[in-house]
Structure 1
Amino acid sequence: MNNNLTNEREKLKSVIDTKCCPDQWNKVGNSCYFTSTSQETWYDSKRVCEKDNAHLVIISSKEEQKYLTTFGLRIWIGLTDEETEEDWKWVNGEPVTKPFWRDNQPDNYQRNEHCAELAGRSGNSLKNWNDLDCKRKLHFTCEKVLP
């Protein structure tokens, strides 16, 4: 009897763990999000997310874009053209299908702007991505997609 209950408890715990977010993460739709209180470079932000079995946020819808803008922060997102200039790809290797760039962005203004930020304080929540030097320190948002 005890073995059966133990096995059932472990099965339920496994289901809960895959459907719920860790502490300090917010569940929205099928994803969990964590926004840092510290500021890091894009590379360090990516590493922090990966340590938590997550990735820098990949924005795939207007709703997700609007949600992230509500934080009111400048945050790193998982978008870079470091591999090939002007070929922006998400950290999972996928190309951008729904861009939310500010007007006249990306512009590679300083010749080394290969990472993307979401500037949450700009006026238009659907046009607030900007390219920056990856070594700048910003807040960042990690994402875990639930199964």
Structure 2
Amino acid sequence: MANGVNEAEDASSSGKLGFILLVVKAAGGLTSQTESPFMKHLILRVFLVVACVPGRCFIQSSWQNDASNVNVIFDDTVLFKAKADSTIACADSCKIHTVKCRSFSYTSNTKECRGYGDPLQGRVDQANTSLWKRVCRREDYKYDPAFDTCIRFSSIGKSWFEASAWCNNDGAYLLITDTKEKQQATKSGLHSSEFRTHFRWWVGGYDYDDTSVNDFRWINGEPISDKLWSADEPSHVSEHCVNLYPSNASLNDLPCSNQEYFVCQEDLYP
């Protein structure tokens, strides 16, 4: 293809989870001969890792070229150094490394791949090098450093179960605020002004015991710490779903049928 590089392997026909890797090198330069709906929205210098099963493909991770850091490497916060045959192979090294990186550089003439944590420090000039950063897979999600994930606010009132299903339809799930630091970030962090647009939000906590014995857990199965609740909460045996109050950075229980705003999160490291 004249304006693109096709480095795709489609394993969807085998009936097993496979990967299609797409690279966009120039505007209009798509890398697949068959254009699916999501490909129409690819932007300049982005490549996606797409997982496929029979009849369906979904974006698994997304990398964007950092135009502000051309022909440079970084000597600090280096998670690993390795040889790689291509930019895509370097991205794959980031994915399988024990500490998954937020960005990587690839030097084409030496085939050196470097994976980085945050923040990028120790800048050094290095010719023939491009830097790539993880970005949210969907344009309506925003990266939040306190959660190290992508989040999306919905100002449409839904029950907890409807909100959970809505997030799932995005390939995401309701926000998990499982530390005091994360909860404090909703009050004073990067996106605190958006959290403050509403006084409470559904998050991904639920009481898995419908008796008077509370068994509140995050949707990943982890118990919700007593330290994360507002005073005297949880308070009612009929309130099984968890909402967040940004004003005091704490949790409360409510009836699951309440129509509330909610926040989804989409992992950067699937």
TM tier, smaller: 0.7 to 0.9
Distance in 1, matches of 2:243 and 2:153, equals 13
Distance in 2, matches of 1:52 and 1:83, equals 28
Q: Where does structure 2 lack aligned partners over 5 or more consecutive residues?
A: 9-20, 24-45, 50-60, 64-133
Aligned-pair Cα RMSD in Å: 2.5
**Equivalent residue, structure 2, for 1:78:** 204
Report the number of matched residues. 141
Q: Is 2:6 aligned against 1:6?
A: yes
Q: Report 1:46-61 matches (<5 A).
A: 46-61=164-179
Cα offset for 1:98? 6.8
Deviates more, 1:41-50 or 1:67-76: 67-76
With a CA cutoff of 8 Å and minimum separation of 6, indicate the structure with the bigger relative contact order: 1
Which has the higher Rg, Structure 1 or Structure 2?
A: 2
Cα offset for 1:76? 0.4
**Equivalent residue, structure 2, for 1:132:** 254
Q: Is 2:243 aligned against 1:117?
A: yes
Q: Pick one of 10, 13, 20 that aligns with 2:135.
A: 20
Identity across the alignment (%): 28
SS of the residue corresponding to residue 39 of structure 1 reads strand
1:77-129 per-residue CA deviation (whole Å, 9 max, x = no partner) reads 11011435401111122212474211000011xx41000110223xx32xx21
User: Is the CA contact 1:78–1:90 (under 8 Å) kept in the aligned structure 2?
Assistant: yes
Distance in 2, matches of 1:76 and 1:82, equals 16
Q: Pick one of 68, 86, 91 that aligns with 2:219.
A: 91
In structure 2, relative to structure 1, the CA distance for the partners of 1:54 and 1:63 (3 Å cut) is: same
Distance in 1, matches of 2:226 and 2:267, equals 18
TM-score, normalised by the number of residues in structure 1: 0.82
Q: Where does structure 1 lack aligned partners over 5 or more consecutive residues?
A: none
